[in-house]
Amino acid sequence: MPRFTPQNAAEAAEIIARAAAGNQPLEIIAGASKRALGRPVASNDVLDISALRGIISYEPAELVLSVHAATPMSEIEAALSEHQQMLAFEPPDWRGLLGSGGEPTLGGVVACNQSGPRRVRAGAARDYFLGFSAINGWGESWKAGGKVVKNVTGYDMSKLQAGAFGTLSVLTEITLKVMPKPQTATTILLPSLAGEVAIALLSQALNTPYEISGAAHLPAVVARRSGVAAAAQGGAVTALRLEGHAPSVAFRVEAAEVLLGRGERLDAAQSAQFWREVGEVSPLLPAEGRVIWRLCPTPSAAPEVLQGISGAFASAEAYYDWGGGLIWLSLDAAAAGPDAGAAAVRGAMARAGGHATLIAAPAALRTAVPVFTPLPGPLEALARRVKQSFDLRGILNPGRIQEGH
């Protein structure tokens, strides 16, 4: 299988232009750590852009970072840490989840719009994506957005590229808004609540002005797998994270406990570990013999969705993040059957509103089952026209989101 390794954006554009002329689709990879995410790409040729790396500019006081797209996350994290800054959307490392190696890159994170537990308060990757340079399916280099934190000049193309899984253009340069790292964090763990009670409580907490930046509920079987001793004591845990300046966190933790009940408190280090696990889905791992779904329902409907699915599959294991707005679900692959449980999962979601994505499953299943929630006809037609407006011949990651485009 041919593999192209351009050393810069101009070479990458050249390769894509040639591929377009020859109608030869390309699979785009950077660190290849998320290659098993989405539908397998219908292509034998690989465009490996991992040489497009390095920080272009970083202005901590402007809150703006520009990098070549395949810059490793580790490099970005190190640069930001030096100035006590961070990517507020807390992108998780899914290598454990996807059973992959490779070096995660910012381009991959942005292309997959990957956000972690803080998303419930701070927003998603797309919300911090200010501008970019990219190459479309004709091999043309183009750009959109800007390198300042506030800009409405032209269509907001960044939003469209985030979460396009590389199907619209290959990102070559990325500019992000960064944020100060909170000075400290405390997590309150409330024990032994039932799912519906926990989601109602998380909703109540998110409706307070105490700036909750993590809101998860782990049922007993799942919580037991946590590496944080206080969370793994046997029962269910409902977790609330509060971050910020130390005096403020101390006050808000106390106020939240007065309102919601006393719990066990995790210090900053334990808190970091707990939420890393939540983001990385490690409480559902290892996933051998299982399929893993990611559900984004209307948050208040989450317990009902999960009840519906658990009714169909006794093997279901799951936990909630984002106050119920995210459910990580693991099913026994054999019990889930040839559709990986899609009919039951999407049936339960249909009543709640939202979408469900099949994340971890063998490639054959991810080809046979629609990985992303199928769209209603007119929307599907629009999505297809949008794809064509960037990549008429289907050169870039064809089939990754949907069969045929």
Partner 1 sequence: MILMPPPDQAVLARRTQIVADLRQIVPGDGVIDTEHERRAFECDGLTAYRQLPMVVVLPSTTAQIVGVLRYCTAHNVKVVPRGAGTSLSGGALPLEDGVLLGLGKFKRILEIDTANRCVVVQPGVTNLGITHAVQGLGLYYAPDPSSQIACTIGGNVAENSGGVHCLKYGLTTNNVIGIEMVTMDGEILRLGGKHFDSGGLDLLGVMVGSEGLLGVVTEVTVRVLPPPPGARALMIGFPTVEGSADCVADIIAAGIIPGGMEIMDRLAVEAAEAFVHAGYPLEAAALLIVELDGVAVEVDHLVALVEEIAQRHGATSCRASQSEAERLLFWAGRKAAFPAVGRLSPDYYCMDGTIPRRRIGYVLARITQMEQVYGLRVANVFHAGDGNLHPLILYNANIPGELERAEEFGNDILRLCVEVGGVLTGEHGVGIEKRDLMGTMFNETDLGQQQRLKCAFDPASLLNPGKVFPQLCNCAELGRVHVHGGQTRFPELPRF
Ligand X SMILES: Cc1cc2nc3c(=O)[nH]c(=O)nc-3n(C[C@H](O)[C@H](O)[C@H](O)COP(=O)(O)OP(=O)(O)OC[C@H]3O[C@@H](n4cnc5c(N)ncnc54)[C@H](O)[C@@H]3O)c2cc1C
Q: Does residue 46 contact residue 32 with C-beta atoms inside 8 Å?
A: no
Q: Which does 6 bind (CB under 5 to 8 A by kind): partner 1, ligand X, none?
A: none
CA distance 72 to 104: 6
Under the binding rule (CB under 6 A), the answer on residue 114 touching ligand X is yes
Spatial strand order of the sheet with 326-332 comes to 264-266, 184-191, 237-244, 212-218, 317-321, 326-332, 290-297, 354-360
Side chain identity, residue 208: T
Q: Could you give the 3-state DSSP secondary structure of residue 192?
A: coil
Q: Give the residue at shortest CB distance from ligand X.
A: 108
Position among 66, 238, 397, 402 found at the interface with ligand X (CB under 6 A): 397
Residues 280, 115: contact at Cβ < 8 Å? no
Residue 58 near residue 76, CB atoms below 8 Å: no
What is the residue type of 361? A
**Measured from the CB of residue 231, what is the shortest distance to ligand X in angstroms?**
22
Q: Tell whether residue 74 is a contact of ligand X (CB under 6 A).
A: yes
Site string for partner 1, 188-207 (x = CB under 8 A): ------------x--x--xx
Q: Which does 16 bind (CB under 5 to 8 A by kind): ligand X, partner 1, none?
A: none
- 282 or 298: whose CB is closer to partner 1? 298
Query: Which CB atom, from 72 or from 279, has the smaller least distance to partner 1?
Result: 279
Query: Which tokens go with 187?
Result: 């997590």
> Contacts with partner 1 in 146-175 (CB under 8 A)?
146-160, 162-164, 168
* Cα–Cα distance for residue pair 15/344, rounded to 1 Å: 43
Contact pattern from residue 336 through residue 375 relative to partner 1, giving x for each residue in contact according to CB under 8 A and a dash for the rest: -----------------xxxxx--------------xx-x
Shortest reach from residue 44's CB to partner 1, in Å: 16
Verify binding: residue 389, partner 1, rule CB under 8 A. Answer: yes
Footprint of partner 1 on residues 4-43 (CB under 8 A)? 17, 20-21, 23
Taking the complex as a whole, how short is the minimal distance between the CB of residue 213 and partner 1, in angstroms?
13
Kindly list the distances between the CA atom of residue 383 and the CA atoms of 9, 370, 380, 390, in Å, as whole numbers in the listed order: 27, 15, 5, 11
Contacted entry of ligand X, partner 1, none for residue 4, CB cut-off 5 to 8 Å set by kind: none
105 interacts with ligand X by CB under 6 A: yes
CA-to-CA separations, 54 to 68, 95, 105, in angstroms, rounded: 5, 22, 11
Report, in Å, the least distance between residue 209 CB and partner 1.
4
The count of C-alpha atoms lying within 13 angstroms of the C-alpha of 42, restricted to the half-sphere facing its C-beta, is 13
Answer yes or no whether residue 187 interacts with ligand X by CB under 6 A.
no
Decide if residue 183 touches partner 1 (CB under 8 A): yes
Q: Does 232 bind partner 1 (CB under 8 A)?
A: no
Q: Number of H helices and number of E strands within the chain?
A: 15, 18
Closest C-alpha among 39, 33, 98, 96 to residue 70: 33
Tell which one of 3, 262, 351, 385 touches partner 1 (CB under 8 A): 385
Q: Would you tell me how many other CB atoms lie within 10 Å of the CB of residue 183?
A: 14
Chosen residue from 104, 299, 308, 341 binding partner 1 by CB under 8 A: 299
Total residues belonging to the chain: 405
* Binding residue (CB under 6 A) for ligand X from 9, 25, 43, 91: 91
143 makes contact with partner 1 (CB under 8 A):
yes
**Distance in angstroms (rounded) separating the CA atoms of residues 5 and 45:** 11
Q: How far is CA 298 from the centre of its chain?
A: 17
**Under rule CB under 6 A, residue 31 binds ligand X:** yes
Amino acid at 225: R
Q: Which does 314 bind (CB under 5 to 8 A by kind): ligand X, partner 1, none?
A: none
Which 253-272 positions form the footprint of partner 1 (CB under 8 A)?
255
**Is 62 among the residues that bind partner 1 (CB under 8 A)?**
yes
Contacting residue, 6, 107, 297, 303, with partner 1 by CB under 8 A:
297
Contact 167, 398 (CB under 8 A): yes
In 3D space, the residue among 274, 170, 256 whose CA is nearest the CA of residue 212 turns out to be: 256
C-alpha dihedral, 122 to 126 to 129 to 133, nearest 10°? 170
Q: Which is nearer to partner 1, 181 or 224 (CB)?
A: 181
87 forms part of the interface with ligand X (CB under 6 A): yes
Chain residues binding ligand X by CB under 6 A are 28-35, 49, 69, 73-74, 77, 87, 91-95, 102, 104-105, 107-109, 111-112, 114, 165-166, 170-171, 397, 400
